[in-house]
Structure 1
Amino acid sequence: RHTTYPIMSRSSARIDTKKVNSELVTLTYGALVAQMVKDLDNVDDVSKQLERLGYNMGIRLIEDYLAKTSTGRCHDLKDTADKIQSAFRMYLGVQPNVANWSAAGDEFSFILDTNPLTELVELPDDLKALKYCNIICGVIRGALEMVQMDVQSWIVQDQLKGDSNTEIR
Protein backbone atom coordinates (compact mmCIF):
# COMPACT_ATOMS: atom_id res chain seq x y z
CA ARG A 1 0.00 0.00 0.00
CA HIS A 2 1.48 3.31 -1.10
CA THR A 3 0.68 6.65 0.41
CA THR A 4 1.18 9.63 -1.81
CA TYR A 5 1.94 13.03 -0.47
CA PRO A 6 1.51 16.23 -2.37
CA ILE A 7 4.73 17.92 -3.29
CA MET A 8 5.08 21.29 -1.65
CA SER A 9 7.01 23.97 -3.44
CA ARG A 10 7.42 27.67 -3.26
CA SER A 11 5.22 29.65 -5.50
CA SER A 12 7.04 31.52 -8.21
CA ALA A 13 4.95 34.58 -7.38
CA ARG A 14 6.56 36.81 -4.79
CA ILE A 15 4.50 37.94 -1.83
CA ASP A 16 4.77 41.64 -1.11
CA THR A 17 5.66 41.50 2.60
CA LYS A 18 5.25 45.26 3.05
CA LYS A 19 1.67 45.02 1.81
CA VAL A 20 1.01 42.00 4.04
CA ASN A 21 2.52 43.79 7.04
CA SER A 22 0.51 46.92 6.29
CA GLU A 23 -2.73 44.96 6.08
CA LEU A 24 -1.88 43.08 9.28
CA VAL A 25 -1.28 46.36 11.13
CA THR A 26 -4.52 47.81 9.71
CA LEU A 27 -6.59 44.80 10.76
CA THR A 28 -4.96 44.45 14.17
CA TYR A 29 -5.40 48.15 14.92
CA GLY A 30 -9.02 47.97 13.75
CA ALA A 31 -9.67 45.03 16.09
CA LEU A 32 -8.06 46.94 18.98
CA VAL A 33 -10.21 50.02 18.35
CA ALA A 34 -13.36 47.88 18.01
CA GLN A 35 -12.63 46.21 21.36
CA MET A 36 -12.00 49.56 23.03
CA VAL A 37 -15.32 50.87 21.70
CA LYS A 38 -17.05 47.84 23.28
CA ASP A 39 -15.20 48.17 26.59
CA LEU A 40 -15.37 51.92 27.18
CA ASP A 41 -18.46 53.99 27.81
CA ASN A 42 -18.06 56.68 25.19
CA VAL A 43 -16.20 57.65 22.06
CA ASP A 44 -14.26 60.47 23.76
CA ASP A 45 -12.78 57.97 26.23
CA VAL A 46 -11.71 55.73 23.35
CA SER A 47 -10.05 58.68 21.60
CA LYS A 48 -8.18 59.61 24.81
CA GLN A 49 -7.04 56.01 25.33
CA LEU A 50 -5.80 55.78 21.73
CA GLU A 51 -3.72 58.92 22.25
CA ARG A 52 -2.36 57.54 25.52
CA LEU A 53 -1.53 54.20 23.89
CA GLY A 54 0.29 56.06 21.11
CA TYR A 55 2.18 58.14 23.67
CA ASN A 56 3.41 54.98 25.40
CA MET A 57 4.47 53.55 22.03
CA GLY A 58 6.23 56.79 21.09
CA ILE A 59 8.40 56.87 24.21
CA ARG A 60 9.74 53.44 23.20
CA LEU A 61 9.71 53.86 19.43
CA ILE A 62 12.09 56.82 19.53
CA GLU A 63 14.88 54.54 20.76
CA ASP A 64 14.36 52.20 17.83
CA TYR A 65 14.26 55.11 15.38
CA LEU A 66 17.46 56.66 16.76
CA ALA A 67 19.27 53.31 16.71
CA LYS A 68 18.24 52.50 13.13
CA THR A 69 18.94 55.93 11.69
CA SER A 70 21.94 57.06 13.76
CA THR A 71 20.43 60.52 13.54
CA GLY A 72 21.76 63.42 15.54
CA ARG A 73 20.06 66.22 17.37
CA CYS A 74 17.55 68.33 15.48
CA HIS A 75 18.76 71.84 14.68
CA ASP A 76 15.33 73.42 14.32
CA LEU A 77 11.66 72.55 13.91
CA LYS A 78 12.06 72.03 10.16
CA ASP A 79 14.71 69.41 10.85
CA THR A 80 12.34 67.81 13.38
CA ALA A 81 9.55 67.74 10.78
CA ASP A 82 11.87 66.08 8.24
CA LYS A 83 12.86 63.39 10.74
CA ILE A 84 9.25 62.69 11.72
CA GLN A 85 8.44 62.50 8.02
CA SER A 86 11.15 59.84 7.60
CA ALA A 87 9.74 57.95 10.61
CA PHE A 88 6.32 57.84 8.92
CA ARG A 89 8.01 56.29 5.89
CA MET A 90 9.95 53.85 8.06
CA TYR A 91 7.12 52.63 10.28
CA LEU A 92 3.94 53.17 8.26
CA GLY A 93 5.28 53.01 4.72
CA VAL A 94 3.88 56.42 3.77
CA GLN A 95 5.53 59.78 3.34
CA PRO A 96 3.36 62.67 4.42
CA ASN A 97 3.85 66.15 3.05
CA VAL A 98 5.00 68.76 5.54
CA ALA A 99 2.82 71.83 5.04
CA ASN A 100 0.86 74.68 6.62
CA TRP A 101 3.72 76.23 8.57
CA SER A 102 2.61 78.94 10.97
CA ALA A 103 3.96 82.47 10.44
CA ALA A 104 6.11 82.08 13.56
CA GLY A 105 7.49 78.78 12.26
CA ASP A 106 6.46 76.95 15.42
CA GLU A 107 3.62 74.82 13.99
CA PHE A 108 3.18 72.67 10.91
CA SER A 109 1.03 69.87 9.56
CA PHE A 110 1.61 66.44 8.11
CA ILE A 111 -0.70 65.78 5.17
CA LEU A 112 -1.32 62.11 4.40
CA ASP A 113 -2.91 61.35 1.04
CA THR A 114 -3.20 57.72 2.11
CA ASN A 115 -3.31 56.45 5.67
CA PRO A 116 -2.53 52.77 6.19
CA LEU A 117 -4.44 52.72 9.48
CA THR A 118 -7.69 53.62 7.72
CA GLU A 119 -7.38 51.61 4.48
CA LEU A 120 -10.09 49.08 5.30
CA VAL A 121 -12.12 51.20 7.73
CA GLU A 122 -15.55 52.76 7.56
CA LEU A 123 -16.89 54.50 10.66
CA PRO A 124 -20.57 54.01 11.47
CA ASP A 125 -22.59 57.17 12.14
CA ASP A 126 -22.61 56.62 15.91
CA LEU A 127 -18.78 56.70 15.93
CA LYS A 128 -18.23 59.80 13.78
CA ALA A 129 -16.77 61.65 16.79
CA LEU A 130 -14.10 58.96 17.24
CA LYS A 131 -10.56 60.20 16.63
CA TYR A 132 -9.55 56.92 15.03
CA CYS A 133 -5.97 57.97 14.24
CA ASN A 134 -5.30 59.57 17.61
CA ILE A 135 -2.67 56.89 18.21
CA ILE A 136 -0.43 58.70 15.69
CA CYS A 137 -0.76 61.96 17.63
CA GLY A 138 0.26 60.12 20.79
CA VAL A 139 3.27 58.50 19.12
CA ILE A 140 4.50 61.91 17.95
CA ARG A 141 4.01 63.46 21.39
CA GLY A 142 5.67 60.57 23.23
CA ALA A 143 8.65 60.30 20.91
CA LEU A 144 9.36 64.02 20.96
CA GLU A 145 8.98 64.22 24.73
CA MET A 146 11.80 61.70 25.04
CA VAL A 147 14.09 64.10 23.17
CA GLN A 148 13.07 67.04 25.38
CA MET A 149 10.45 68.55 23.08
CA ASP A 150 7.08 69.38 24.59
CA VAL A 151 4.55 69.29 21.74
CA GLN A 152 0.86 68.94 21.10
CA SER A 153 -0.53 66.99 18.16
CA TRP A 154 -4.08 66.60 16.90
CA ILE A 155 -6.11 65.53 13.89
CA VAL A 156 -7.31 68.49 11.79
CA GLN A 157 -8.76 66.58 8.83
CA ASP A 158 -9.68 62.93 8.60
CA GLN A 159 -10.41 60.86 5.49
CA LEU A 160 -12.72 58.69 7.59
CA LYS A 161 -14.93 61.74 8.04
CA GLY A 162 -15.07 62.65 4.37
CA ASP A 163 -12.01 64.90 4.09
CA SER A 164 -9.79 64.53 1.02
CA ASN A 165 -6.75 63.69 3.16
CA THR A 166 -5.66 63.24 6.75
CA GLU A 167 -3.99 66.25 8.34
CA ILE A 168 -2.12 65.93 11.61
CA ARG A 169 -1.05 69.21 13.22
Structure 2
Amino acid sequence: VVDADAGRAERQLSALDPAGGTVAFTGDNSIPTAGVRAANHVIVAGNLLSSERVLDACLGGFEAADGALDARLIAALGAAARAGGDSRGLLSAALLVVGLDRPPLSLRVDYAKAPLDALAELHSRATGGDYARWTRHVPTLQDPERATPFTS
Protein backbone atom coordinates (compact mmCIF):
# COMPACT_ATOMS: atom_id res chain seq x y z
CA VAL A 1 0.00 0.00 0.00
CA VAL A 2 2.68 2.52 0.95
CA ASP A 3 5.14 1.60 -1.83
CA ALA A 4 3.14 3.61 -4.39
CA ASP A 5 2.98 6.68 -2.13
CA ALA A 6 5.63 9.28 -2.98
CA GLY A 7 5.09 10.84 0.47
CA ARG A 8 5.44 7.57 2.39
CA ALA A 9 8.44 8.81 4.38
CA GLU A 10 6.08 11.20 6.21
CA ARG A 11 3.24 8.72 6.64
CA GLN A 12 2.12 6.37 9.35
CA LEU A 13 -0.33 3.56 8.65
CA SER A 14 -1.64 0.80 10.88
CA ALA A 15 -4.28 -1.82 10.17
CA LEU A 16 -6.09 -4.61 11.98
CA ASP A 17 -7.77 -7.39 10.02
CA PRO A 18 -10.94 -9.25 11.09
CA ALA A 19 -8.86 -12.18 12.36
CA GLY A 20 -6.88 -9.91 14.69
CA GLY A 21 -3.73 -9.71 12.59
CA THR A 22 -1.86 -6.41 12.49
CA VAL A 23 0.41 -4.57 10.09
CA ALA A 24 2.01 -1.17 10.46
CA PHE A 25 4.29 1.27 8.68
CA THR A 26 6.00 4.34 10.10
CA GLY A 27 7.89 6.45 7.56
CA ASP A 28 11.49 7.43 8.19
CA ASN A 29 10.56 11.12 8.35
CA SER A 30 7.71 10.71 10.83
CA ILE A 31 7.88 13.29 13.58
CA PRO A 32 9.44 11.85 16.74
CA THR A 33 8.40 10.23 18.89
CA ALA A 34 6.54 7.88 16.57
CA GLY A 35 5.93 4.17 16.82
CA VAL A 36 3.61 1.20 16.95
CA ARG A 37 2.70 -1.49 19.47
CA ALA A 38 0.64 -4.55 18.56
CA ALA A 39 -0.87 -7.49 20.39
CA ASN A 40 -3.63 -9.99 19.68
CA HIS A 41 -6.58 -8.12 18.13
CA VAL A 42 -5.19 -4.64 18.89
CA ILE A 43 -2.74 -2.18 17.38
CA VAL A 44 -1.65 1.19 18.79
CA ALA A 45 0.13 3.81 16.68
CA GLY A 46 1.13 7.36 17.37
CA ASN A 47 3.45 10.20 16.48
CA LEU A 48 4.33 13.50 18.10
CA LEU A 49 4.27 11.62 21.40
CA SER A 50 6.04 12.78 24.55
CA SER A 51 7.85 9.41 24.73
CA GLU A 52 7.56 5.78 23.67
CA ARG A 53 6.02 5.04 27.08
CA VAL A 54 2.80 6.52 25.70
CA LEU A 55 2.47 3.62 23.24
CA ASP A 56 3.07 1.03 25.96
CA ALA A 57 0.60 2.74 28.31
CA CYS A 58 -2.04 2.96 25.60
CA LEU A 59 -1.73 -0.74 24.77
CA GLY A 60 -1.67 -1.66 28.46
CA GLY A 61 -4.72 0.50 29.17
CA PHE A 62 -6.66 -1.24 26.42
CA GLU A 63 -5.65 -4.72 27.55
CA ALA A 64 -6.44 -4.00 31.22
CA ALA A 65 -9.88 -2.51 30.57
CA ASP A 66 -13.10 -4.49 30.72
CA GLY A 67 -16.28 -3.96 28.78
CA ALA A 68 -17.20 -3.09 25.24
CA LEU A 69 -14.67 -2.00 22.63
CA ASP A 70 -15.62 1.67 22.88
CA ALA A 71 -15.09 1.74 26.67
CA ARG A 72 -11.74 -0.04 26.30
CA LEU A 73 -10.62 2.49 23.69
CA ILE A 74 -11.47 5.38 26.01
CA ALA A 75 -9.51 3.67 28.79
CA ALA A 76 -6.54 3.31 26.42
CA LEU A 77 -6.66 7.01 25.52
CA GLY A 78 -6.71 7.91 29.21
CA ALA A 79 -3.73 5.68 29.96
CA ALA A 80 -1.80 7.21 27.06
CA ALA A 81 -2.53 10.74 28.29
CA ARG A 82 -1.40 9.89 31.82
CA ALA A 83 1.89 8.59 30.36
CA GLY A 84 2.54 11.95 28.70
CA GLY A 85 0.35 11.79 25.60
CA ASP A 86 0.83 14.18 22.72
CA SER A 87 4.00 16.25 23.04
CA ARG A 88 2.02 19.39 22.06
CA GLY A 89 -0.67 18.92 24.70
CA LEU A 90 -4.22 17.76 24.16
CA LEU A 91 -7.11 19.90 22.92
CA SER A 92 -9.25 17.34 21.10
CA ALA A 93 -10.34 13.73 21.38
CA ALA A 94 -12.39 11.52 19.08
CA LEU A 95 -13.75 8.01 18.93
CA LEU A 96 -15.19 6.11 15.96
CA VAL A 97 -16.41 2.54 16.38
CA VAL A 98 -18.05 0.72 13.48
CA GLY A 99 -19.26 -2.87 13.54
CA LEU A 100 -21.39 -5.14 11.43
CA ASP A 101 -24.07 -5.59 14.07
CA ARG A 102 -24.13 -2.16 15.73
CA PRO A 103 -24.80 1.37 14.56
CA PRO A 104 -21.70 3.52 14.15
CA LEU A 105 -20.58 5.40 17.25
CA SER A 106 -18.88 8.65 16.24
CA LEU A 107 -17.90 11.02 19.06
CA ARG A 108 -15.69 14.09 18.86
CA VAL A 109 -14.66 16.86 21.25
CA ASP A 110 -12.61 19.82 20.00
CA TYR A 111 -10.86 22.70 21.78
CA ALA A 112 -11.70 21.50 25.27
CA LYS A 113 -9.71 22.09 28.43
CA ALA A 114 -10.11 18.40 29.36
CA PRO A 115 -11.00 16.64 26.09
CA LEU A 116 -10.72 13.08 27.40
CA ASP A 117 -13.04 13.84 30.31
CA ALA A 118 -15.46 15.48 27.87
CA LEU A 119 -15.21 12.48 25.53
CA ALA A 120 -15.95 10.09 28.41
CA GLU A 121 -18.98 12.19 29.38
CA LEU A 122 -20.22 12.28 25.78
CA HIS A 123 -19.70 8.52 25.55
CA SER A 124 -21.73 8.00 28.72
CA ARG A 125 -24.59 10.05 27.29
CA ALA A 126 -24.45 8.29 23.92
CA THR A 127 -24.44 4.79 25.39
CA GLY A 128 -27.06 5.23 28.10
CA GLY A 129 -30.64 6.33 28.54
CA ASP A 130 -33.05 7.24 25.76
CA TYR A 131 -30.33 7.79 23.18
CA ALA A 132 -28.97 4.27 23.65
CA ARG A 133 -32.49 2.85 23.42
CA TRP A 134 -33.03 4.78 20.20
CA THR A 135 -29.81 3.43 18.63
CA ARG A 136 -31.16 -0.12 18.93
CA HIS A 137 -33.50 0.86 16.09
CA VAL A 138 -30.84 2.37 13.82
CA PRO A 139 -29.87 0.30 10.75
CA THR A 140 -26.55 -1.54 10.83
CA LEU A 141 -24.28 -2.94 8.12
CA GLN A 142 -25.63 -6.41 8.87
CA ASP A 143 -29.25 -5.24 9.01
CA PRO A 144 -29.61 -2.14 6.80
CA GLU A 145 -33.41 -2.33 6.91
CA ARG A 146 -33.63 -2.56 10.70
CA ALA A 147 -36.32 -0.32 12.02
CA THR A 148 -38.64 -1.24 14.83
CA PRO A 149 -41.13 0.94 16.66
CA PHE A 150 -39.36 3.11 19.22
CA THR A 151 -40.73 3.07 22.74
CA SER A 152 -39.06 4.77 25.65
Task: Judge same fold: TM > 0.5, yes or no.
Answer: no
Q: Which has the higher helix share?
A: 1
Give the strand-richer structure, 1 or 2.
2
Q: Give 1 or 2 for the bigger CA radius of gyration.
A: 1
Please give the TM-score of this superposition, normalised by the length of structure 1. 0.27
TM-score where L is the length of structure 2: 0.28
